[in-house]
Structure 1
């Protein structure tokens, strides 16, 4: 079986990808800044990264930091992967990185370009936002008595386990370049998602839609982060996700 390195392998997506690859019989190395034996800061690179990549055939690059540093990390990973003779680099990106001028999205797009020009064989999968991310946003907004929502915004949240399944399958298949995007089964207004969250958590909040401004808001408002119809849709809805969380917490 293949020896595979998963960067960000302790994160929301990476840990699921690593588990699926192990379940299929592959030797999986998990690289993370604080997870021995492959505790590596990708932005620094160095001998520890070379050691983690020794004998690796495929890299699944899930590590990412919205606070910055993704381009530098990708450059170090690509350089080390070339030295190690890696045969396949699979990367998870975000739907809309080429259309929404959000700083983090621009960074993800720059990483895509680095991978495409790396000389390595590669696969890039873009996905919409995970349910976990949407929940985190709503939890933060619900801390106030009134939930202030950006007016006119929609989202298309996807189940992270479905993304993990798809990415693991792509990692063990031949390099495929840019593959069809993966998104959630429903495009929902942020207000609709907020109401589902409040119902599931038995909370009461007034909802107020606030118009914003700027190029980034306009791009989100116009749906630059949503998928085109011909691409792949997942099955798990936001309500499915909330119900599963409630069951796990003993609330249902």
Structure 2
């Protein structure tokens, strides 16, 4: 039985990945900084801190595959420590343990969108590529939950600001989890794959459908996002033409399916 370790197992994608892997018959392990029962839901949990390396050797020992999902976006120095120091420490532990495949989770457009967090993801991809551990990078488009989180935040201020020239391709974490399982089955690609949702929407269209689904009344202010960031978004760097895609649409997510 293939033994898979998932970092960031308590996050949105981590929970979906562990559920999918367990159903598919993998022996699943997961890391968490917070104390957990060592066995829960068919998953063996390890207390480990990527930023210090504490507990990593024990967690990685005996694993055939490591799926690196741990992230902490836009949290200043901690984000950098997790993405670079943490990924480096994990790779060192994986190399020493003879891990046969490491899958790193990244973002579509990471190499084309001028955001500091995206630049860190690209640097971490480089660590994975040069580590000596057989590897695959999966870049996904924005998760449904993250899109909704941004819309909810704007709604608190009484209006939604949306650039109608920006295409969006939200993807469901359950679809990403299934794709991760497929990558594990396929073995290391020594390359990067992109994965997006089943449809490309406009930013304002996604905002309007979210308002309808949540029964909210807010104006949608259509205006362009300025500067290099807006240009990168309008150029379509957040979407991908890669196949396969996910199956669960934005509307289905909003209906709670």
Q: Give the TM-score, by structure 1 length.
A: 0.91
Question: How many Å apart are 1:180 and its aligned residue?
Answer: 3.4
Are 1:180 and 1:231, in contact at CA under 8 Å, matched by a contact in 2? no
Distance 2:22 2:53 in 1: 25
* SS of alignment partner, residue 97 of structure 1: coil
Distance 2:111 2:69 in 1: 19
Q: 1:131-170 alignment to 2 at 5 Å?
A: 131-150=144-163, 152-170=165-183
Question: How many Å apart are 1:20 and its aligned residue?
Answer: 1.5
Question: How many Å apart are 1:42 and its aligned residue?
Answer: 0.3
* Aligned counterpart, 2:116: 103
Question: How many Å apart are 1:97 and its aligned residue?
Answer: 0.7
Question: How many Å apart are 1:98 and its aligned residue?
Answer: 1.1
Q: 1:96-245 alignment to 2 at 5 Å?
A: 96-150=109-163, 152-228=165-241, 230-244=242-256
Distance 1:24 1:207 in 2: 43
Distance 1:185 1:225 in 2: 14
* Aligned counterpart, 1:57: 64
* Aligned counterpart, 2:31: 31
Question: How many Å apart are 1:209 and its aligned residue?
Answer: 2.1
CA pair 180-75 structure 1, distance change in 2 beyond 3 A? closer
* Aligned counterpart, 2:43: none
Q: Give the TM-score, by structure 2 length.
A: 0.89
Deviations 1:158-177 (A, max 9, x none): 11111100102212332122
Structure 2 portions without partners, runs of 5+: 39-45
- When the two chains are superposed, the root-mean-square deviation of aligned CA atoms in Å is 1.6
Does residue 44 of structure 1 match 2:52? yes
How many residue pairs were aligned?
243
